[in-house]
């Protein structure tokens, strides 16, 4: 969209210029609308699980902005030879996840395509004072991540049939887990900035937050929560192509200590599907925030600090 003409609109709080998670339009002093959409081809073979994962991923952008979803529309592409039961299972998976979010699917659009694709267009609401942007992180804040990394690596392992059944179930559970509870808890802790970790991986989305906030972010490599077996499989070379594209995208804006292993660093570039929230919070509130997230059943941890800008946007330390 670079170079395309835009209309000036004082009510458009967030567009695409800061690479934030969703568009935000203020309609009254107390209500902002959040607009997002996301859809993609299957990451798993089971059509119902695919529908759940795609829906959770689309809903995540609303939660990343501090909002509450209010309605959703299906976006679905179906091959002409796909059996009706599988098509219905995809939509059922998405619908069940939307119901879990407390809203309804109110319509949508379908197309015939050679490969199935599914997702949602979601509208949410948020009070302007509770809006979370990817800008505004303060020097001295710490960063909290609310889900473990590694879904891209483990999905690659699953595609070739090497992932154990218990680990596959853990992977699906991670990708279908809504960020709703993490968002709700975060409202009590004065979050200064945030985003969710999806296709650009931890480093890519952290870079967006660092640049939008004009800060440097230091990531403590061994504090980052990982899915079980993710590091082992990364050491075996199961790195998705998207991780290499993410590394190229970041370029020289990230510096990593030499004693951080390449496999661990690869996981920080690993493209995530329906990943966790990355939230900047004051240091004196962080421990209580993480404890409450863990008490709610989430795998959360403090993974880094925000500092004034130095010689690079991101530094990964051992």
User: Which of the 8 DSSP states describes residue 239?
Assistant: -
What integer is the mean pLDDT of 21-48? Answer: 96
CATH architecture of 133-317: Alpha-Beta Complex (3.90)
What integer is the mean pLDDT of 30-49? Answer: 97
Q: Supply the mean pLDDT for the chain.
A: 96
Q: Where are the domains of the chain?
A: 12-129, 133-317
Fold topology of 12-129: 60s Ribosomal Protein L30; Chain: A; (3.30.1330)
Q: Residue 115: pLDDT band by 50, 70, 90 thresholds?
A: very high
What integer is the mean pLDDT of 228-235? Answer: 98
Going from the C-alpha of 44 to that of each of 52, 111, 310, the distances in angstroms are 11, 21, 42
Residue 1 predicted with pLDDT over 80: no
Alpha helices (H) in 11-124, listed in sequence order: 47-64, 84-100
Are domains 12-129 and 133-317 of this chain identical in fold?
A: no
Q: What is the pTM of this model?
A: 0.95
Q: Residue 32: pLDDT band by 50, 70, 90 thresholds?
A: very high
Contact yes or no for 171/270 (Cβ under 8 A): no
Predicted confidence (pLDDT) per residue in 252-298, tens digit = 899 999 999 999 999 999 999 999 999 999 999 999 999 999 999 99
Q: Given this model, what pLDDT does residue 120 score? A: 98
Contact yes or no for 43/50 (Cβ under 8 A): yes
The total of other beta-carbon atoms located within 10 Å of residue 139's CB is 12
Distance CA 206, CA 204 (A): 5
Q: Given this model, what pLDDT does residue 227 score? A: 98
């Amino acid at each position: 969209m670079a170079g395309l003409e835009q209309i000036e609109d004082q009510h458009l709080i967030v567009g695409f210029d800061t690479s934030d998670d969703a568009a935000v339009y203020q309609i009254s002093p107390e209500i902002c609308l959040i607009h997002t959409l996301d859809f993609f081809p299957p990451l798993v073979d089971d059509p119902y699980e695919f529908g759940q994962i795609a829906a959770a991923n689309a809903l995540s952008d609303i939660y990343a902005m501090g909002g509450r979803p209010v309605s959703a529309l299906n976006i679905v592409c179906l091959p002409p030879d796909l059996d009706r039961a599988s098509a219905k299972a995809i939509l059922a998976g998405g619908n069940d996840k939307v119901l879990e979010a407390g809203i309804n699917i109110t319509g949508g659009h379908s197309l015939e395509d050679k490969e199935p694709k599914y997702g949602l267009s979601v509208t949410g609401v948020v009070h302007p004072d509770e809006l979370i942007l990817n800008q505004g992180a303060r020097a001295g804040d710490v960063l909290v991540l609310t889900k473990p990394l590694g879904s891209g690596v483990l999905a690659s392992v699953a595609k070739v049939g090497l992932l154990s059944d218990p680990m596959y179930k853990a992977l699906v559970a991670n990708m279908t887990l809504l960020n709703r509870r993490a968002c709700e808890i975060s409202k009590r802790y004065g979050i200064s900035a945030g985003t969710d970790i999806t296709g650009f991986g931890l480093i890519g989305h952290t870079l967006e937050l660092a640049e939008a906030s004009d800060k440097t972010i230091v990531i403590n490599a061994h504090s980052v929560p990982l899915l079980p077996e993710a590091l082992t499989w990364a050491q075996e070379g199961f790195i998705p192509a998207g991780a290499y594209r993410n590394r190229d995208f970041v370029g020289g804006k990230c510096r990593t200590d030499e004693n951080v292993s390449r496999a661990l660093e690869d996981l920080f570039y690993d493209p995530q599907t329906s990943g966790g929230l990355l939230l900047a919070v004051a240091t004196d509130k962080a421990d209580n925030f993480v404890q409450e997230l863990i008490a709610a059943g989430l795998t959360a941890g403090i993974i880094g600090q925000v500092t004034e800008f130095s010689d690079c946007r991101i530094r990964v330390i051992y």
